[in-house]
Amino acid sequence: MADHATQDWDRIRILYELKRAGVAGFYALDRAHKLPLSTCSKAASIPNTRGERAIAKALGRPPHQIWPSRYDVNGRRLRPQPAENYKQRGEDRHCQIGEAA
């Protein structure tokens, strides 16, 4: 079993925790922080500093606890981000080519 402290939270867990914190969802968070729509939704899957900060603030946690792969052990953001942080994960895709949505 993988160490939870070293795994990024998946978008389902982030959404669950946002709802527990009283946030309706990613778009509500975008609007509350005056971010372009989809910023927080995308940040759940790929690196986006502004979206990560908005999500982390709503959850009352530092971003490096939610996305340890995007930060060093001291909580400083990795620059540049590792290439694997930009690869689309299976759970992020909503349909496959040739399959119904």
Total structural domains in the chain? 1
pTM: 0.79
Question: Which CATH number goes with the domain that contains 38?
Answer: 1.10.260
Asked whether residue 101 is assigned to any structural domain, the reply reads no
Range of the domain at 20: 4-92
* pLDDT tens-digit map of 37-54: 999 999 999 999 999 999
Task: Give the rounded distance of the alpha carbon of 4 from its chain centre.
Answer: 15
* pLDDT tens-digit map of 63-79: 999 999 999 989 999 98
Asked whether residue 100 is assigned to any structural domain, the reply reads no
Contact 75, 61 (CB under 8 A): no
Q: Which of 31, 62, 27, 24 is nearest to 41 (CA)?
A: 27
Asked whether residue 97 is assigned to any structural domain, the reply reads no
Question: pLDDT band for position 82 (50/70/90)?
Answer: confident
Q: What is the mean pLDDT of the chain?
A: 86
